[in-house]
Structure 1
Amino acid sequence: MRKTLIKRMIDEDITNSDLAKTIGVTERTVKNKISGELDFKLSEVLKIRNKHFPKEKIEALFEDFPDKQSDKFNTAHTCS
Structure 2
Amino acid sequence: MLNNLNNVRKEKNVSLVDIADLLNVRYQTVADKINGKSSFKFTEALKIQEKFFPEYEIKFLFTPIDYKQPA
TM-score (norm 2): 0.86
User: In 1, Cα distance between the equivalents of 2:50 and 2:38?
Assistant: 21
Query: Once the two structures are aligned, what percentage of the paired residues are identical?
Result: 34
Q: Which residue of 1 aligns with 2:55?
A: 55
Q: Match for residue 16 of structure 2?
A: 16
1:73 corresponding residue in structure 2: none
**Alignment correspondent of 1:75:** none
Q: Please, what is the CA RMSD of the aligned residues?
A: 1.1
Q: Shift of the alpha carbon at 1:55?
A: 1.2
Q: Greater relative contact order (Cα 8 A, min sep 6): structure 1 or 2? A: 2
Q: How many residues align?
A: 65
Give the drift of 1:18. Answer: 0.4
Pairs within 5 Å for 1:1-80 = 1-64=1-64
Q: Runs of at least 4 residues of structure 1 off by over 6 A?
A: none
Once the 2 structures are TM-superposed, how far is the Cα of residue 14 of structure 1 from its aligned partner? Answer: 0.5
Deviation at 1:50? 0.4
Query: TM-score, normalised to structure 1's length?
Result: 0.77
